[in-house]
Structure 1
Amino acid sequence: MPDAAAAWTADLDLLTGAARLAGARALDFFRKGPEVWWKNEGRSPVSAADFAANDILKKELLSARPNYGWLSEETDDDAARLDCETVFVIDPIDGTRAFIAGKDIWCVSAAVVHRGRPVAGVLFAPSLDELFTAAAEGPALKNGRPVSASEPDAGRPIRIAAAEDMAHGLEPNMAGGVQRISHVPSLAYRLAMVADGRIDATLVKRNSHDWDLAAADLILSRAGGGLVTLDGAPLSYNRPTVSHETLCAAGSARLSGLVEAARHLSGH
């Protein structure tokens, strides 16, 4: 693709505008008792706000890039995306349970994935007035200001967001100890917290999905961190199977140590 960096920057602008529109639409439903349905055999809620935000994203993005594929949590999957080199990967509301409960930590997650890796990504948390953005080869920004993942600090334990059993399983293998951070209801936002240094790391339970991860993966990478499997490999997106195994995320200087300490948690 000629001048790929400029193309991904243009895609980032497109994602940002669409995410802002979708977030504003979701706010119309926030704390107003939107209708809720249950999917995946009653395990996952979806609200009228999710569908309304998804409709805006699909219209805005595909009208501008009709040759791109489409993968969204709230759209029936179409295998035609597998024939596309470049795909939109969308979660109209990441953190739907928090949204329904009237909690602020939820966000619109929107990414462009090219040949299996994200090249533009946006996380917009309208209730917090926070916008995270990144494009390939560019900086990670939060509300227009660069952010960076934290560096190791021998003087304190690693601050990690993880399920209690995973954090306890990790602690014996971390020399400085572990400080477990309370639950963050949006996975994408949790990864953004690693990107901006509010927490040092997170462990992601198996069965997360492309739409939870793609935008945040790029933002974290451009902030000097990484999201990897327990083999230390980067993630590949837009595959036939869109779910993932147990994952680790941290700043690059501590990522390999975290992976080694967490390897026995495979299958969590």
Structure 2
Amino acid sequence: MSEAALQTASSRNEDLKLILAAAVAAGDTALGYFRKSVDVRWKNEGRSPVSEADLAANDILKTRLLGARPDYGWLSEETDDDATRLARDTVFVVDPIDGTRAFISGKDLWCVSVAVVHQGRPTAGVLYAPALGEIFEATLDGEARKNGAAIAVRDPVPDERLQVAMAEDLVGKLAVPYRDRLARVPHVPSLAYRLAMIADGRIDGTIVKKNAHDWDLAAADLILARAGGALRGLDGMPLSYNRPIVSHGVLGAGSGLALPSLLAASRPFDAH
């Protein structure tokens, strides 16, 4: 498939089929390690765990996806970054297990995240949460779906407190007008899954601390957008992916009605 062909709806659908099958294969393999004794090592100066399940899932994704689309670039949390991706118009952006800490501790809230990004924009995305039996998917011009059924963000009721997922240490730093409007949702260990919860209407939004990465966000960003919500930087602009630096600043995500308040509430956290 040529790069130009990715611009057609039919080819985006073919990419979706490809990444969906690969995500399911990788997730089912990871599920075989779940709640068992697994080898774990630490990276990023001991701040981030990676398990043998992460690596096994990554191997499956890389083999299947690049085997089918050798002209696409590759960006994965569990693969050393290769700058040649920057010369590719289209890349796979992958997190083999988003929520590794949850996975290691036996909690269900982890998922496989796979996106196709074309010229900085996600065009197909899949999240597969095998321990929950949930698959979220979308293409740039299609509806967002969960287990095959269309999903949509929730429209907040006027004067109702917004159900917002955010770190506990941020609550006390909120300015009073926003603190009174936002109700904190208990910790969701997978950022990608947290965004999916907004997409299917379970929560209204999230505030994301700085240093989230492309692989945490790309697939869920597209799914949320196609469900009627948005993920934005504090400048209100959409994110661009497959840049030289793959981490992002403070972000807000929510429905169209909730998002302005979330972005305004998030601005004081940009310095933290």
TM-score normalised by structure 1 residue count: 0.97
What is the aligned-residue identity percentage? 60
Q: Deviations over 1:128-160 (max 9, x none)?
A: 000000001100100001111111212420100
Q: Deviations over 1:58-82 (max 9, x none)?
A: 0110011000000000001000000
- Establish whether residue 254 from structure 1 lines up as the match of residue 253 from structure 2: no
Q: Which one-letter code corresponds to 1:120 in the other structure?
A: A
Moved over 6 A (4+): none
Q: Deviations over 1:191-240 (max 9, x none)?
A: 10011110101011101100000000000000000000111111010000
Contact 2:19 2:126 in 1 (8 A): yes
- In structure 1, the residue matched to 2:22 is 18
- In structure 1, the residue matched to 2:227 is 223
Contact 1:30 1:99 in 2 (8 A): yes
CA drift at 1:28: 1.1
Contact 1:210 1:237 in 2 (8 A): yes
Alpha-carbon spacing, 1:22–1:84, altered in 2? closer, same or farther (3 Å) = same
Q: Deviations over 1:23-54 (max 9, x none)?
A: 01001111111100000001100000000000
Contact 1:119 1:136 in 2 (8 A): yes
CA drift at 1:252: 1.4
SS at 1:217 equivalent: helix
- In structure 2, the residue matched to 1:138 is 142
Structure 1: give runs of 5+ residues left out of the alignment: none
The alignment's C-alpha RMSD in Å is 1.3
CA distance in 2, matches of 1:79, 1:122: 24
SS at 1:6 equivalent: helix
Q: Which one-letter code corresponds to 1:219 in the other structure?
A: I
- Establish whether residue 195 from structure 1 lines up as the match of residue 193 from structure 2: no
SS at 1:263 equivalent: helix
Query: What is the aligned residue count?
Result: 268
- In structure 2, the residue matched to 1:27 is 31
- In structure 2, the residue matched to 1:108 is 112
- In structure 2, the residue matched to 1:96 is 100
- Establish whether residue 52 from structure 1 lines up as the match of residue 66 from structure 2: no
Structure 2: give runs of 5+ residues left out of the alignment: none
TM-score normalised by structure 2 residue count: 0.96
Contact 2:251 2:266 in 1 (8 A): no
CA distance in 1, matches of 2:39, 2:77: 18
Q: Which one-letter code corresponds to 1:8 in the other structure?
A: R
CA distance in 1, matches of 2:77, 2:203: 27
CA drift at 1:175: 8.2
Contact 1:171 1:178 in 2 (8 A): no
CA distance in 2, matches of 1:101, 1:208: 21
